[in-house]
Chains A and B, each alone.
Chain A
């Protein structure tokens, strides 16, 4: 059962990582236009180089 001493902190850490990623996405307005973003990948405007 000693393995729990590692597994539980790891699980908590991963969960916290997910939560941090969610906060980041929320803060950077990633949920502003889900429908548009899913369509924009079909647009080949900036395929050669990234948008400046």
Chain B
């Protein structure tokens, strides 16, 4: 992983031998690292994080962004994200590396600032015109009124031309494609109202709607900006969480190693997989002995011993010894890719979801021009052909029906809700996820890595003598096997120091051995160490004359018990579906009080179970982290994955849990329900305003004052209603 993060500055093999030449050839670029900090929340946090990072050698500056819960670090090129994450871990802050994706981020940033600038221009112009309009409403007459209208026109016309551009562009685009979207009537209203108001001003008429036009632009732009921000956040979340690892493989060519992109591999090639590396292709082991971790593919907790002739699948992680693999399937045929195809198929089914806003817009968009056209025709008939009066009534109707509150109804609620969920540690990746989450009645959990941390924890250390523990620590630190790493972490946490063990070496697939006080000591498999195998997951230590066993359990993720209880209290059905063995799954289900469970589930089984549940009319929320969950994640109505999940799983899910704690999921479900209720309330509110004010406009009583009142009242109440969200 680190190799992928710090790409070599020179690809020339000769330069690697002459480091000075490399430095002269290219000045190394500074590293700009971006870390996500799900737990920062106050001034003290900012200070601690920035000071800790500034003390780290090689770091030039670090700045925390509390709004986005991120820290950006400028550092010398040799500083790695892993080192900084470790450093922050010691200070008590959880951190994850983010893909800087600088280019595309500044792109969305630019669009956002462009919109914000238009909001500002519309706002300031609106305020200045309002000063003049209040004077007119207060009774300014004749020449004064005409002059005030004229000044208003001088401010309003360039402002609408500038600030209204997003609507004009979108309306034109839709018209060209032969559709009518919400922006069509809006653009029409803006242009017509300005034109008629200008005509009235020049004819020294009584009513000009300049302030209403700008108010409309202002409120609609705010809605547009909130919408854009929510979408930009979702998009940047997807980018941030996108693959950190460049898919590369080490190709063996007559014993020479070359690093090539995975896409270039062909069937029959020999590939070297180093310990700690991910298997890039499907293949058969031709040399080497090791253990592979398949938990991401199958959900099995324990590593599997692999030797010559064993079958490997892309996505598995090699743990202890180097393996040479002959490629049997690469690229599109590999199991990883077949999974991706299934995901794509499942996703396209979900993209057909229509949001509440879509439905409201579709119903509402045609009524605006129809209503004002009807008003125009009716008044032409009533007044016996008074064109000026009829046009004025039609324009008043157009302005009143224009959906400013409707444009704010959804974005205001979504912005408030995603802000609150973000503070709880949940990132919404998909704009429609909140609405879909509100409909959920069944929650399916994966076990390994989701309800559990996916890392084993030794549970019988208290019964061991200290000397054995210190020898075990020395041996365990020499291996990258997950059990050894877990043992070493637990022992270090007890403040133990490793014993003096010499000649440390790892026997791939078996364990670690060394010499301690003249005796041969071993840590590893029962058979190899010479110990008796116990029933649970274990590692075994031989001190030459005696053997000891360490047993492990998978630690429960914090909040797992609470989330199951809370979801059940909310009346949701909870399922546990795992690829792990029956005993482990059953024990977990009983411990958490989950009534439905299924063990030994293949990826297809998980997806099939979810499809079956959905066919029965249930709406399923899937929570999972592994590659074996990706199909299920995309088949479910809505899905959540933890930040520690594999990138494919995060890409397939709608929301990502940033912190370690899983409890926010229950909150998210509740919050989604409340949000959708607020959105509906907002629709009703803005509908009510229209129901009251449209008849006033149709009857010809609507003055610019009425229009301004109706518009600002409805927009403000809708926004306040969104802020009520808890």
Contact = CB atoms under 8 A, between A and B. Distances in A.
On whether the two chains bind one another, the answer is yes
B10 to A, nearest CB: 35
Interface in B21-71: 42-43, 46-47, 64-68
Interface residues of B, number: 23
B128 A15 contact: yes
B65 A19 contact: no
B66 A35 contact: yes
A42 B116 contact: no
B128 A11 contact: yes
A36 B42 contact: no
B124 A22 contact: yes
Given A33-B65, A35-B67, A26 B128 contact: no
Contact of B65 (A22, A36, A43): A36
A33 B63 CA distance: 11
B144 A32 contact: no
Tell me whether chain B's interface is mostly helix, strand or loop, or mixed. Answer: helix
B233 to A, nearest CB: 14
Tell me whether chain A's interface is mostly helix, strand or loop, or mixed. Answer: helix
B498 interface: no
Interface in A1-52: 1, 4, 8, 11-12, 15-16, 18-19, 22-23, 26, 31-36, 39-43, 45
Nearest to A14: B128
Contact of A8 (B67, B117, B120, B151): B151
A36 B128 contact: no
Nearest to A17: B124
Contacts of B519: none
Contacts of B128: 11-12, 15
Contacts of A33: 65-68
A15 B124 contact: yes
Contact of A40 (B43, B113, B127): B43
B131 interface: yes
Given A1-B144, A8-B151, A26-B116, A18 B124 contact: yes
A39 B151 contact: no
Contacts of A39: 42-43, 46, 66
Contacts of A36: 46, 64-67
B97 to A, nearest CB: 20
Given A1-B144, A43-B47, A34 B120 contact: no
A46 B66 CA distance: 19
Contact of A34 (B67, B125, B127): B67
Contacts of A23: 117, 120
B43 A19 contact: no
A26 B128 CA distance: 21
Contacts of A41: 43
A19 B121 contact: yes
A31 B43 CA distance: 18
Contacts of A32: 65, 67
A8 B135 CA distance: 12
Contacts of B144: 1, 4
A36 B42 CA distance: 8
B77 to A, nearest CB: 24
B124 A19 contact: yes
Contacts of B68: 33
B127 A43 contact: no
A26 B113 CA distance: 7
Contact of B127 (A15, A31, A35): A15
A34 B419 CA distance: 13
Interface string B216-247: 00000000000000000000000000000000
A20 B66 CA distance: 27
Contacts of B47: 43, 45
B126 to A, nearest CB: 10
Contacts of B116: 26, 31
Nearest to B119: A22
A20 to B, nearest CB: 10
Interface string B101-127: 000000000000100110011001101
B215 to A, nearest CB: 15
Nearest to B126: A15
Contacts of A19: 120-121, 124
A22 B120 contact: yes
B67 A26 contact: no
A43 B121 contact: no
Interface in B68-109: 68
Contacts of A43: 43, 46-47
Contacts of A18: 124
Given A8-B151, A33-B67, A36-B67, 15 more contacts: A4-B144, A11-B128, A12-B155, A19-B121, A26-B116, A33-B68, A34-B67, A35-B67, A36-B64, A36-B65, A39-B42, A39-B43, A40-B43, A43-B47, A45-B47
7 contacts: A1-B144, A15-B127, A19-B120, A23-B120, A33-B67, A35-B66, A45-B47
CB-CB nearest 9 A-B residue pairs: A36-B66, A42-B43, A39-B43, A15-B128, A19-B124, A35-B67, A33-B65, A22-B120, A35-B66
Interface of B: 42-43, 46-47, 64-68, 113, 116-117, 120-121, 124-125, 127-128, 131-132, 144, 151, 155
